[in-house]
């Protein structure tokens, strides 16, 4: 199960083109043993009440830890969730999590899926009971945290964060282009796509992480009776219909798209921005046009270029890194 390798834990170094992380490595110094323990937990279905669903069931490495092809999540007893499963990547840089930004700390984040009745439907206390009944976990937790007491929630959450914090995606062809590394060439069309993205999408999908981490309404709906997004947390009507701007890294693989997975393809997403938007009270100012329907005009060539560029954000190393796979 455990490797004795001395290779570095993934995501320990800050990529040259990335800003300073919020959850820096010094806050939970990565070690191989703790990282592997976190990985075992991430892939362990015992974290769910039924013993059938692990974090990895909904977050699959091959699609950047999103849920391949699934509109909404499927939890224990095939309960359908209310939102689309986002990719898990570059979590060290996130000030808050989920489409509505409820949880604010990467270590506390797993409490949400574990206790959500539509996801793992389990209590943290029960998870700890199961782990404490397992001799191998007992030994491995002791190896990482020392002490003689039982495995506690602090140890559990810290270990899991060793794995989730390691999910750094920073080696796409785009990254190598930006860092001027070998293999970092973009075609003329991809380069035009990059320029268009920075111009037309860059206010929101900003910077090297392709998100400004803000909550915005990008014109999907007129009303928000089922999911008010950010307002679910702030209870302010001015936040109704605003959702976290998702990163566009690995976006070619993370469909279906948007908080409710309504668009199956990137083409459909571009259609939405070009001519599918609807007005509502909280629609982002960035998307409003005086005298016109809201939207971002995209000529056919621009669409083609944008799509070409978005594919350069696929990070094969991340998707196939054996260290991040189930062991």
Partner 1 sequence: MKFLKYTALFLALFSLSATVTSCDDDDNTNPAAVNIEFENVVGSNTLELNSATPYATGAGDQITVTAFRYFISNVKLKKADGTEWAQPESYYLIDQALPASKKISLTDVPPGDYTSLTFTIGVDSARNVAGAQTGALSKGNMFWDWNTGYVFMKLEGRSPQAPGAGAVILHVGGFRKGENAVRTVTPTLNNSVIRVHEGHTPEIHVKADIQKMFVGSTPIRFSSVNNLMAAGTNAVNISKNYENGMFVVDRIQGN
Q: Does 47 bind ligand HEC (CB under 6 A)?
A: yes
Cα first-last separation, the chain? 6
Closest CB to ligand HEC among residues 43, 177: 43
Beta-carbon count within 10 A of 23 CB: 18
Q: Does 123 bind partner 1 (CB under 8 A)?
A: yes
Nearest-approach distance from CB 160 to partner 1, in angstroms: 9
Please list the alpha-helical segments (H only) found in the chain: 32-42, 55-58, 111-115, 124-132, 135-145, 153-164, 173-178, 188-196, 231-234, 266-271, 300-311, 316-320
Q: Which of 102, 184, 202, 207 binds partner 1 (CB under 8 A)?
A: 102
* Binding partner of 141, given ligand HEC, partner 1, none, CB within 5-8 angstroms per partner class: none
Spatial separation of the C-alpha atoms in residues 310 and 200, rounded to whole Å: 14
The token pair at 154 is 């602090």
Q: Does 110 bind ligand HEC (CB under 6 A)?
A: yes
Q: Does 99 bind ligand HEC (CB under 6 A)?
A: yes
Q: Which of 17, 27, 132, 280 binds partner 1 (CB under 8 A)?
A: 27
* Among 44-52, 99-107, 215-223, 272-280, the segment contacting partner 1 (CB under 8 A): 99-107
Closest CB to ligand HEC among residues 57, 312: 57
Q: Which of residues 203-242 bind partner 1 (CB under 8 A)?
A: 233, 235
Nearest-approach distance from CB 148 to ligand HEC, in angstroms: 26
| DSSP per-residue string spanning 112-175 | HHHH-TTTT---HHHHHHHHHT-HHHHHHHHHHH-SSS---HHHHHHHHHHHHTT-----SHHH
Residue 169 near residue 247 (C-beta atoms within 8 A): no
Q: Does 245 bind ligand HEC (CB under 6 A)?
A: yes
* Among 5-13, 19-27, 213-221, 318-326, the segment contacting ligand HEC (CB under 6 A): 213-221
* Binding partner of 153, given partner 1, ligand HEC, none, CB within 5-8 angstroms per partner class: partner 1
Spatial separation of the C-alpha atoms in residues 77 and 52, rounded to whole Å: 9
Taking only Cα atoms into account, the Rg of the chain, rounded to an integer number of angstroms, comes to 20
Q: Which residues bind partner 1 (CB under 8 A)?
A: 27-28, 96, 98, 102-108, 111-112, 114-116, 123-125, 152-154, 156-158, 161, 233, 235
């Amino acid at each position: 199960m455990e490797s004795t390798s001395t290779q570095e834990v993934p995501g320990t170094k800050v990529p040259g083109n990335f800003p300073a992380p919020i959850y820096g490595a010094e806050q939970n110094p990565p070690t191989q043993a703790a990282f592997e323990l976190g990985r075992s937990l991430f892939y362990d279905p015992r974290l769910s009440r039924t013993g059938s669903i692990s974090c990895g069931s909904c977050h699959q490495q091959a699609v950047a830890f999103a849920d391949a092809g699934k509109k909404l999540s499927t939890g224990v007893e095939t309960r359908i969730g209310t939102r689309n499963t986002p990719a898990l990547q570059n979590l060290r840089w996130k000030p808050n999590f989920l489409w509505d930004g409820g949880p604010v700390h990467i270590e506390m984040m797993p409490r949400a899926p574990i206790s959500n009745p539509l996801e793992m439907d389990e209590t943290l206390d029960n998870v700890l009971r199961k782990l404490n009944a397992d001799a191998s976990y007992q030994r491995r937790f002791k190896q990482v945290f020392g002490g003689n007491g039982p495995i506690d929630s602090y140890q559990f959450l810290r270990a899991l964060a060793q794995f989730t914090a390691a999910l750094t995606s920073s080696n796409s062809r785009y990254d190598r282009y930006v860092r001027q590394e070998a293999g970092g060439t973009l075609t003329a069309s991809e380069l035009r796509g990059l320029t268009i993205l920075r111009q037309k999408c860059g206010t929101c999908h900003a910077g090297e992480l392709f998100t400004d981490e803000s909550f915005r309404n990008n014109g999907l709906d007129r009303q928000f009776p089922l999911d008010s997004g950010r307002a679910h947390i702030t209870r302010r009507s001015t936040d109704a219909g605003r959702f976290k701007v998702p990163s566009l890294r690995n976006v070619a693989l993370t469909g279906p798209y948007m908080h409710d997975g309504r668009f199956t393809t990137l083409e459909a997403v571009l259609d939405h921005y070009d001519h599918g938007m609807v007005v509502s009270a909280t629609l982002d100012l960035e998307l409003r046009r005086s005298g016109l329907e809201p939207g971002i005009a995209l000529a056919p060539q621009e669409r083609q270029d944008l799509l070409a560029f978005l594919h350069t954000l696929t990070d094969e190393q991340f998707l196939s890194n054996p260290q991040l796979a189930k062991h």
